[in-house]
Amino acid sequence: MSKTAFLFPGQGSQYVGMGRTLAEGYPAARLVFETADQALEFAISRLCIEGSEEDLKLTQNTQPALLAVSIAAFTVLRELGVRPDYVAGHSLGEYSALVAAGSLKFTDALRLVRNRGRFMQAAVPPGQGAMAALLKLPAGRLDEVLQKAAQGEIVSAANLNAPDQVVIAGHAGAVSRAMELAKAAGARRAVPLAVSAPFHCSLMKPAQDDMAPELEATAFDDPDWPLINNWQAHEVRTGVEAREGLIQQIPSTVRWEESMHYLAAQGVDRFFEVGPGGVLTGLLRSIDPALQGLRFGEAADVEKLRIAAATN
């Protein structure tokens, strides 16, 4: 029997204008944005739809903006009668996944991710950290590259996204050395990422320490559908596990490829990327071209959904 997973994107998927067509076409989506504006006490909806790219790229703005658009898209998808069997989210997207699954209140999630953005930005002084994507690094060479690049500094795998894409993070010098070593080891490309901090490495420990009390003070219910978390690529069915996963993911590797393989092994063969952009759909094709990925973040995607349903 066919199973469905909803996947929620993280930072890097944002763009000016995201959510506009959903808000214009669907009252339920518009209500999500109104709720977000009230909870945050500023017009996050305006920032999403017509704000400047520079303001949208600020981490403390990016995180609640992506959450709001993802939940607006989820709300429309739910109105259309589509339900998942599993949920997962990439980094920040794990908050969206837990809101969708009924584990975390939307307004609580907005507060948490705004603070998460501030704490992550403050954890490492500007210029001291960096991230880079290593593309098509030959299998088995990553650990060697990272060990040689460290030289007393921190550099580690931040996102294990797909067989041909690994993101690394750490001290700027160590990341730069790792990029050169990766190219020497056969990587097709090593691309520096335009990010404001080195996410998902041990340099984020101060952010984890700041976020833990915020998360501990927040109520988490058991999710309506199981979540595959980032930290362990593990199936989560309780609110206690969901909270712990959000605490542990901050300095830990996002095990995305492993998570997608786990979902496929459970019989999931249909994936909806719920929110802006198509990053996760692209990664899915790299992980396993046999898996069906559909984007759902704009009003135009409703018709694509109907066409896909009619052909299945």
pLDDT digit string, tens, across residues 40-72: 999 999 999 988 888 888 888 999 999 999 999
Active-site annotation holds for 171: no
What average pLDDT does the segment 99-120 reach?
A: 96
Residue with tokens 């559909």: 294
Q: What is the pLDDT of residue 225?
A: 98
The pLDDT of residue 8 is 98
Q: Residue range 71-79: average pLDDT?
A: 96
Q: How far apart, in Å, are the Cα atoms of 224 and each of 102, 105, 163, 238, 286?
A: 6, 13, 31, 9, 29
Does the pLDDT value for residue 34 go beyond 70? yes
The whole-number pLDDT of residue 95 equals 98
Has 91 been annotated as catalytic? yes
Predicted confidence at residue 311, as pLDDT, reads: 54
The residue written with tokens 């501990």 in the block is 216
Q: In which element (H, E) is residue 32 found? A: helix 27-40
Q: What is the pLDDT of residue 60?
A: 87
Query: From the candidates 91, 103, 252, 259, which is the catalytic residue?
Result: 91
pLDDT of residue 310: 54
Higher pLDDT, 58 or 7: 7
The predicted model scores a pTM of 0.96
Asked if 193 contacts 172 with a C-beta cutoff of 8 angstroms, the reply is no
Stretch 216-226: mean pLDDT: 98
Phi/psi at 297 (nearest 5 deg)?
-145, -5
**Distance of alpha carbon 24 from alpha carbon 44, whole angstroms:** 16
Confidence at residue 303, expressed as pLDDT on a 0 to 100 scale: 83
Provide the mean pLDDT of the chain: 95
- Catalytic member of 45, 90, 171, 200: 200
Residue 28 has pLDDT above 70, yes or no: yes
| Residue, of 303 and 77, whose pLDDT is higher | 77
Residues above pLDDT 90, as percent of the chain: 89
Q: Are 90 and 256 in contact (CB under 8 A)?
A: yes
pLDDT in tens, 156-185: 999 999 999 999 999 999 999 999 999 999
H or E segment and range at residue 23 = helix 20-25
Residue 312: the pLDDT is 56
Q: Find the Cα–Cα–Cα–Cα dihedral 152, 157, 163, 165, rounded to 10°.
A: -90
Q: Is the pLDDT of residue 32 over 90?
A: yes
Tell which residue, 79, 123, 113, 130, has the closest CA to residue 8. Answer: 113
